[in-house]
Structure 1
Amino acid sequence: MSSTVHPHPFARSTKQLEIIPNRIDVEDESRRYDDLVFDESPIEPRPKRPTSPVGAPPSVFSNDIWLGDNCGESSAFAREVKINGWTSVGDALGGAYVVYNCVLKTKEGTVIPVHKRYSEFAALEVQLLQVLPRTYHSFIPELPPKAPFARYRSTFLARRQVALEHWLSAILLHPDIGGCEPVRRWVMS
């Protein structure tokens, strides 16, 4: 039996360990987190999506598949999904939170404003995973992650807004998922 000597896992590390004092400065930790996770470059606008010859929006899953190409009837009621901003509600002492301003345009052209917290997006995801058949679970993208130290930072909120818009578009514009009962309740509540 041969004995293999394994080197220490940090033997080749060139980084220094930083000792954290007994008292943690929350503001300093928040700044460090932002420096680590977010680069401060401005967010570039998303490129304009191509449109089909008849002007239908492409699928959120592929630029080669057009929503108008489906041979069956779509149960989705929406034809356009935007999240045009967010609003901070409350203050730090009274329990502040962020509300995202969603604008949904129906097939008939009616605009529905919807204001939702991140937790309501997460609740919809849970409901969809409970109600939908397992074969549809792959059509539900991952929600953007939580970040406790950065949740009120404009850089973080701008990135989350883009990710939530993509997530909500994938749900509401899907021909089968977009008209299911949990989605209808979420929009109307």
Structure 2
Amino acid sequence: MNITPERPHEESTHGGGGDDGGCLSYYGHDDDHAGGGGTLSYNLHDDDDHEGGALQLLSPAPITLEDHTVTPGENTAGLWARRAQVVDYAIVSGSRTRAGAYVAWNCLIETFEGAQFTVRKRYSEFFLLHEQLKSTFPRSVKYLPELPPKSVISKFRPKFLESRRQGLSYFLSCILLNPQFAGSPLVKDFLLHS
């Protein structure tokens, strides 16, 4: 594939007639053209003697939030966690009929000092933290991600639980990588007191 710039009203080198031979043109302004208002076209030609490849569309990679700061600075004084994620869950049984059963979410936190710890939290605790942060930081609500939705019917289904795990992990990462939220006693109490 090669790119050939062509000025309007000049002969094209890529063949005659109405067939462009599979070329793609881009038209933009060319201030160097006599008169100052012409266009410049770029044609992409398929030539057998030039190596080239087709353009390839890549699907986006999943987003992972992780802070690569070595140590917090003056604008990030409230930060203390390098990484936070909800790694898995456990279904805690109630009775034989699952009455009273609930899901406990295992949260892995890594600090700037390299220490790691895991805490188990219920969805209701995440919900309470979300509500407390909304009322404590009313001007920062736009930085507070929504929690994944509740479901009475799909509550223990693996697909639903995996979707919820990802949503809770995103929520936790956003909270702990935001200096205002991470420095809050609400967040520290949430993680350090079970």
Task: Give the deviation of 1:93 after TM superposition.
Answer: 4.2
User: Among residues 125, 132, 155, which one is paired with 1:127 in the alignment?
Assistant: 132
Match of 1:78 in 2: 81
Pairs aligned (count) = 131
Q: Structure 1: state its 5+ residue gaps.
A: 1-45, 58-66
> Hey, which of these two has a bigger chunk of helix by percent?
1
* Amino acid corresponding to residue 112 of structure 1 in structure 2: F
Match of 1:56 in 2: 68
Dislocated runs of 4+, deviation >2 Å? 46-51, 67-71, 91-94
Match of 1:137 in 2: 141
Q: Structure 2: state its 5+ residue gaps.
A: 1-60
Alignment of 1:19-38 (within 5 A): none
* Amino acid corresponding to residue 149 of structure 1 in structure 2: I
Match of 2:107 in 1: 102
Q: CA-atom RMSD, angstroms?
A: 2.5
Identity of aligned pairs, percent?
A: 32
SS in 1 for 2:134: helix
Does structure 1 retain, via aligned residues, the 8 Å contact 2:104–2:120?
yes
Alignment of 1:142-181 (within 5 A): 142-181=146-185
TM superposition score normalised by structure 1: 0.62
Task: Give the deviation of 1:152 after TM superposition.
Answer: 0.2
Match of 2:33 in 1: none
Task: Give the deviation of 1:119 after TM superposition.
Answer: 0.3
The one-character-per-residue Cα deviations of 1:50-74 (angstroms, maximum 9, x if unpaired) are 98xxx827xxxxxxxxx98975233
TM superposition score normalised by structure 2: 0.61
Task: Give the deviation of 1:131 after TM superposition.
Answer: 1.6
The one-character-per-residue Cα deviations of 1:110-149 (angstroms, maximum 9, x if unpaired) are 11111000000001011111222x2211110111100110
Task: Give the deviation of 1:76 after TM superposition.
Answer: 1.9
Q: Which has the higher contact order (CA 8 A, sep 6+)?
A: 1
Change (3 A) 1:109 1:137: same
Match of 1:185 in 2: 189
> Hey, which of these two has a bigger chunk of strand by percent?
2
Which segment is superposed worse, 135-144 or 91-100?
91-100
SS in 1 for 2:172: helix
* Amino acid corresponding to residue 170 of structure 2 in structure 1: H
SS in 2 for 1:146: coil
Task: Give the deviation of 1:94 after TM superposition.
Answer: 4.2
